[in-house]
């Protein structure tokens, strides 16, 4: 661990985020024993995290505490957070390209570091901003980083990693959400350009984005082989932001409905091979779902802890609410479920970074995460009484925000279908 950490410390890319944390003292502590309190005592026994992971998390936590959480209430009320400002802060510190290649401005670390970042982003006092960050770092850019040309990376990927450009992902449509194969947006080749017509729905970062990673039909072939991913600048003629969608939760994240009226894009803007868009999109779902689980884990931890503190102070029938057995037993049950999910996440991540297909485990984790966070929020909100029904406390905000977990990125029912496929229990056609 010490050798790996010192190697990482010496790299110019690790220095992007070490300026926010006492890395010099941390490095000294690593080279001597015992490890000081800056690093949790469980570091050496952690399944996937090393001291580098915890240094990364500590650095990000300082940015969250200083640059984000003090303003969350304001951004929630305004229905938008300043994506360019926040992404530039995060990009300059290296947090938008943790597992992206060094030559593209990333840190070149493995996916376990992205999971660590996702967990830490759960300390933001809302769900909308972490979701928007996740779209930028782990949804709109992975295919570009893996399959894009050097020219596309220079124009779109590097500025996104550095926080100079805001990205959005254009996959879902009014009639095509979890069923990605049924999208209708078309990109018709005319000479050296595509002419794009159609529209996208539920586009996170849509009103502020500089470019979109667009999935469109580029031929009339089979639905799994006729789609391509295209880098589409959002300032082109024919791109129309129809509306900013008013949502149940995720208020601080702008979500747009976008229409394309014969938008012309150079054919060179295709990511990788034409017709491989569906495959590229499916490949990144493992990471996307693990990222979502990691993010919601911290939210559940925080909700349970805040509920413990509140019920310890609030009294009913002359004793703290927490002292009632039904309350502290229930909180114990919920924390147990959270820990079980954490173990699944870390096991799946450990297998994934070794090159294994963890689609089944990632789908299980996503399914359980979406259902468990609903259970945690609902149970804890109950113990807040009337305060839980206001917008003044974190539990009520996350009650709204985290409901999306069972819908976005593949609904619960889709996860069940994937799991059944791997279990070979689906009815045969």
Q: Which tens digit of pLDDT belongs to each residue from 93-136? A: 999 999 999 999 999 999 999 999 999 999 999 999 999 999 99
Tell me the helices (H) and strands (E) count for the chain, helix number first: 17, 9
pLDDT band at 1 (very low <50, low <70, confident <90, very high): very low
Supply the DSSP symbol for 269.
Answer: G
- 323 versus 21: the higher-pLDDT residue is 323
| Residue 295 near residue 129 (C-beta atoms within 8 A) | no
Question: Phi/psi of residue 203, each to 5°?
Answer: -85, 100
Question: Phi/psi of residue 384, each to 5°?
Answer: -85, -5
Q: Is 173 helix (H, G, I), strand (E, B) or coil?
A: strand
CA-wise closest residue to 203 among 229, 233, 241, 163: 241
What is the Cα 218 distance to its own chain's centre?
A: 28
pLDDT tens-place string over residues 41-59: 445 678 899 999 999 999 9
167-170 and 211-217: which strand pairing? Answer: parallel
Please give the mean pLDDT across all residues of the chain: 91
pLDDT tens-place string over residues 204-250: 999 999 999 999 999 998 999 999 999 999 999 999 999 999 999 99
Catalytic residue among 103, 119, 288, 413: 288
For residue 337, indicate whether it is catalytic: no
pLDDT tens-place string over residues 267-295: 999 999 999 999 998 888 999 999 999 99
pLDDT band at 383 (very low <50, low <70, confident <90, very high): very high
Q: Is 210 helix (H, G, I), strand (E, B) or coil?
A: coil
24 pLDDT higher than 60? no
Q: What does pTM read for this prediction?
A: 0.89
What pLDDT is stored for residue 41 in this prediction? 42
pLDDT tens-place string over residues 341-356: 999 999 999 999 999 9
Distance, CA of 27 to CA of 93 (rounded, Å): 19
Establish whether the linkage from the previous residue to 285 is cis, with ω within 30° of 0.
no
The token pair at 276 is 């491989």
Distance, CA of 169 to CA of 10 (rounded, Å): 35
313 sits in which H/E element:
helix 285-313
For the residues 302-328, what does the mean pLDDT come to?
Answer: 97
What pLDDT is stored for residue 43 in this prediction? 54
What is the percent of the chain where pLDDT is above 90?
Answer: 85
| Residue 30 near residue 1 (C-beta atoms within 8 A) | yes
For the residues 382-400, what does the mean pLDDT come to?
Answer: 96
Q: Is 353 helix (H, G, I), strand (E, B) or coil?
A: coil
């Amino acid at each position: 661990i010490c050798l790996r950490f010192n190697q990482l410390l010496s790299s110019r890319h690790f220095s992007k985020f070490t300026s926010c944390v006492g890395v010099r003292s941390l490095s000294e502590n690593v080279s001597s024993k015992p490890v000081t309190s800056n690093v949790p005592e469980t570091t050496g026994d952690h399944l996937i995290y090393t001291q580098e992971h915890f240094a990364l998390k500590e650095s990000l936590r300082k940015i969250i505490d200083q640059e984000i959480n003090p303003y969350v209430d304001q951004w929630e009320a305004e229905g938008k957070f300043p994506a360019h400002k926040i992404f530039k802060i995060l990009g300059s510190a290296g947090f938008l390209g943790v597992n992206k290649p060094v030559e593209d401005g990333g840190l070149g670390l493995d996916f376990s570091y992205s999971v660590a970042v996702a967990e830490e982003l759960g300390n933001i006092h809302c769900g909308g901003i972490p979701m928007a960050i996740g779209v930028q770092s782990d949804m709109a850019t992975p295919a570009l980083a893996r399959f894009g040309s050097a020219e596309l990376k220079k124009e779109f990927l590097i500025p996104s990693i550095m926080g100079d450009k805001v990205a959005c992902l254009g996959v879902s449509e009014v009639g095509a959400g979890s069923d990605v194969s049924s999208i209708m947006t078309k990109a018709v080749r005319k000479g050296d350009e595509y002419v794009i017509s159609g529209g996208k729905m539920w586009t996170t970062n849509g009103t502020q984005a500089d470019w979109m990673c667009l999935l469109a039909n580029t031929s009339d072939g089979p639905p799994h082989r006729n789609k391509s991913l295209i880098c589409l600048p959002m300032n082109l003629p024919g791109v129309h932001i129809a509306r900013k969608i008013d949502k149940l939760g995720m208020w601080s994240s702008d979500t747009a409905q976008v229409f394309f009226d014969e938008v012309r894009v150079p054919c060179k803007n295709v990511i990788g091979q034409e017709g491989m868009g569906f495959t590229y999109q499916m490949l990144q779902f493992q990471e996307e779902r693990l990222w979502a689980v990691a993010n919601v884990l911290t939210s559940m931890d925080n909700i349970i802890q805040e509920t413990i503190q509140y019920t310890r102070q609030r009294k009913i029938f002359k004793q703290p609410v927490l002292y009632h057995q039904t309350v502290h037993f229930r909180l114990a049950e919920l924390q147990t479920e959270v820990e079980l999910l954490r173990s699944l996440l870390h096991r799946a991540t450990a297998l994934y970074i070794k090159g294994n297909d963890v689609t089944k485990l990632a789908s299980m984790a996503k399914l359980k995460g979406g259902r468990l966070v609903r259970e945690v929020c609902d149970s804890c909100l109950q113990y807040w009484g009337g305060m839980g029904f206001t917008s003044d406390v974190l539990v009520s905000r996350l009650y709204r925000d985290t409901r999306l977990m069972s819908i976005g990125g593949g609904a619960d029912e889709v996860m069940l279908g994937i799991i059944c496929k791997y279990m070979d229990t689906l009815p045969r056609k």
